[in-house]
Structure 1
Amino acid sequence: MKKNFYLRSAIFVILLMHSVVSIFSGDVNNFGRLYLDTIGFSPFGLYLAWAVKLTHLFSVFLIWSDRWVKPVSVCNMVILILGIYWVHWQNGWYVVGGGTNGIEFNVLLICCFLQLIFTDYPSLQQEKRS
């Protein structure tokens, strides 16, 4: 069984749903044009939004297959930290309950990625010995 199987499974589902649903619903385009462009990223808001979603999408398969787990985790953590700063901070801590659209979910995902970063992977150990 893979290390962090349940953690990987949760990240797999979260990132897959977060990317695929917004791609097919068109929300990624709206986020790029209607939000990122208006807060100062114009004319690159749409491209930035797509870069984020594609990073999430490719991360799903790379993390699941034990490939480039640490760089992928760092990339996603950067995205989540910037998401906290640009999108969620003004809404407080809670995603639901005590508020809406807050930072708690991003903080949890950052901790999940930190766990992946600080886990030793057998495939990396074998490569180091060679």
Structure 2
Amino acid sequence: MSGTFLLRIAVAIILLTHSVFGMFNNGINDFGNLFLNQIGFAPFGVFLAWSIKLSHVAAAILLISNKYVKLAGFVTIFILIMGIILVHFKEGWFVVGGGRNGVEYNFLLIVVLFAIMYPNGFRKNQQNTNL
């Protein structure tokens, strides 16, 4: 079992729960119609909302199966950054407590995805560099 196994499973659960419930309670359509279309994505808001959520499901499956993890990570990070820019940044840092709907949750997911994608850090050569 790899060191990132628990992180991959945890992020997959978060991505699945964040997406699947919206598929059955009209949340994805509402996000597309009532938010994305209203901020300039009309008439593609619903299509974009479904694309985002289906990419989360695909990323979750890839994380669980430990296949194409970097691709899944980069796509999800891009979506999370766009979420920060379009939705969360204007709300501040805190999700709850000192504020509401802020960037801290997306920030944490981005950092965890990078840790999953690069478990040994960003260095190409992992030789001992101590002098």
2: CA distance, partners of 1:118 / 1:2 = 12
1:54 deviation in Å?
Answer: 0.1
1:2 deviation in Å?
Answer: 3.1
Q: Which residue of structure 1 aligns with residue 15 of structure 2?
A: 15
**What do the CA deviations read for 1:54-77 (whole angstroms, capped 9, x no partner)?**
000111111111111001100000
**What do the CA deviations read for 1:31-69 (whole angstroms, capped 9, x no partner)?**
001100010000111110000000001111111111110
Q: Which residue of structure 1 aligns with residue 59 of structure 2?
A: 59
1:17 deviation in Å?
Answer: 0.3
SS of corresponding position for 2:40? helix
Q: Which residue of structure 2 aligns with residue 124 of structure 1?
A: none
1:6 deviation in Å?
Answer: 1.6
Displacement over 3 Å in runs of 4+: none
1: CA distance, partners of 2:68 / 2:9 = 17
Q: Is 2:9–2:63's contact at 8 Å kept on the other side of the alignment? A: no
Q: Which residue of structure 1 aligns with residue 124 of structure 2?
A: none
SS of corresponding position for 1:41? coil
**Counterpart amino acid of 2:49?**
A
Q: Is 2:94–2:103's contact at 8 Å kept on the other side of the alignment? A: yes
Q: Which residue of structure 2 aligns with residue 81 of structure 1?
A: 81
More helix by share: 1
2: CA distance, partners of 1:64 / 1:117 = 13
Q: Which residue of structure 1 aligns with residue 3 of structure 2?
A: 3
Structure 2 residue 117 is the aligned partner of structure 1 residue 117: yes
Question: So what's the TM-score if we normalise by structure 1?
Answer: 0.89
Q: Which residue of structure 1 aligns with residue 41 of structure 2?
A: 41
Aligned pairs, number: 120
Q: Which residue of structure 1 aligns with residue 25 of structure 2?
A: 25
- Name structure 1 gaps, 5 residues minimum: 121-130
What RMSD, in angstroms, separates the aligned Cα atoms of the two structures?
A: 1.0
